[in-house]
Structure 1
Amino acid sequence: MINLMADKIAVEIKRTAPDHPASVAVLRYSIALLLNAVLIISITLLLSVFTGRTQEIMILLVSFAILRQVSGGIHLNSGMKCVISTAALFTLLSLIELSSSYVMIINGIAALLCLIFAPSRIEKQTRISVKYYPLLKLASVLIVCSNFLIMSPVLSLSFFAQSMLLIKLRR
């Protein structure tokens, strides 16, 4: 559905501005990314109105995205699967309460996962040279470890969920 909408918009843009240097494929890809993000944010915030956890959702949206930018992670094969699963995950995570002991444990696991697996699956998603991957790993670990100072249960869950998406087991 997202790809279909992106395709229609891209074709219309190209029809309106045929001399624009971007191809329909490039426009389609960019628009699909934008639609994906807008739908995730919109649906998740809408759900937060019903759960009363808007502040937690906002923290989840921002923190997950920041860690994801430097650590990478698995990508689903459909934009709608991504939207639905992300909105459901964030809504579920926003409802979980953790004690400070669990925050420490989950932070530790997330930091360890980032240390082992980050960056993950970013080769085709970024122009960042491989020589900078150790810096991305360090940034990922530091982002997660910042929560040892903040001690936010929501950040802990966000970082843990994102770090789980880094795991890539070899067959």
Structure 2
Amino acid sequence: MVDPIEYVSYKIAVKAKEADPENTDDVDQIRYGVALDIGFYSVILLTVAIGMITKEFWGTLIGMGAFYYLRKFTGGFHFSSLFVCTIVSVAILSIIPHIHLSEFTVVSLTFICIPLIIFFSNKDTKTKAIASLIVLINFVFISPAAALAFFAQSLTLIKLRR
């Protein structure tokens, strides 16, 4: 199956190169940047739309923000297909605000994220400390959406053997 995001981004890159032949970037460099933007903004647009339709707009924004900011500092698993990444991301981020948790579960999930970050992130100690502080903020807010997003992101740090 051809990745739809890759297909569209290639077509856009070719048109961009034709429109500006003096641009020193080659088509593949342009395609790569366009594909990342399409994937990123598709996740935001689709997830926010689902959050609005299901009347979980704020929970969706909290979960999406928590997931994004933690991932920025910890890294994590990447799918080989941007389309698959987009679909999985939208599914996870759209489900998160619909899961209701007790305060004990929120605190427990938040706590579990810290050792997952420390042991499984391949970032330096300072970056792991920043990521841990981001998670620790949830002990103030006790947000189920943030706890689930942090937990989901922390799970992407675990490398499964193939």
Judge same fold: TM > 0.5, yes or no: yes
Structure 1 SS opposite 2:71: helix
Counterpart of 2:90 in structure 1: which amino acid? A
Unpaired runs of at least 5, structure 1 = 121-132
Aligned-residue offset at 1:170: 5.0
1:136 to 2:110 alignment = no
Aligned-partner Cα distance in 2 for 1:103–1:143: 15
Aligned-residue offset at 1:32: 0.5
Aligned-residue offset at 1:153: 1.2
1:69 to 2:60 alignment = no
Q: Which one of 79, 95, 116 corresponds to residue 113 of structure 1? A: 116
What is the TM-score normalised by the length of structure 2?
Answer: 0.92
Aligned-partner Cα distance in 2 for 1:24–1:8: 9
Q: Which one of 22, 26, 30 corresponds to residue 23 of structure 1? A: 26
Identity level (%): 33
1:86 to 2:89 alignment = yes
Aligned-residue offset at 1:119: 3.4
Aligned-residue offset at 1:83: 1.1
Q: Which one of 97, 100, 116 corresponds to residue 97 of structure 1? A: 100
Aligned-residue offset at 1:140: 1.3
List 4+ stretches of structure 1 deviating above 4 A.
Answer: none
- Per the alignment, residue 156 of structure 2 pairs with 165
Structure 2 SS opposite 1:167: coil
What is the TM-score normalised by the length of structure 1?
Answer: 0.88
Aligned-partner Cα distance in 2 for 1:44–1:109: 26
Aligned-residue offset at 1:169: 4.0
Aligned-partner Cα distance in 1 for 2:107–2:65: 21
Kept after mapping to 2: 8 A contact 1:59/1:155: yes
Structure 2 SS opposite 1:75: coil
Deviations for 1:54-111, whole angstroms, at most 9, x for unmatched residues? 1111111211111111100001111111111111111111101111101110011111
Unpaired runs of at least 5, structure 2 = none
Q: How many residues align?
A: 159
Structure 2 SS opposite 1:103: helix
Counterpart of 2:157 in structure 1: which amino acid? L
Structure 2 SS opposite 1:168: coil
RMSD: 1.4
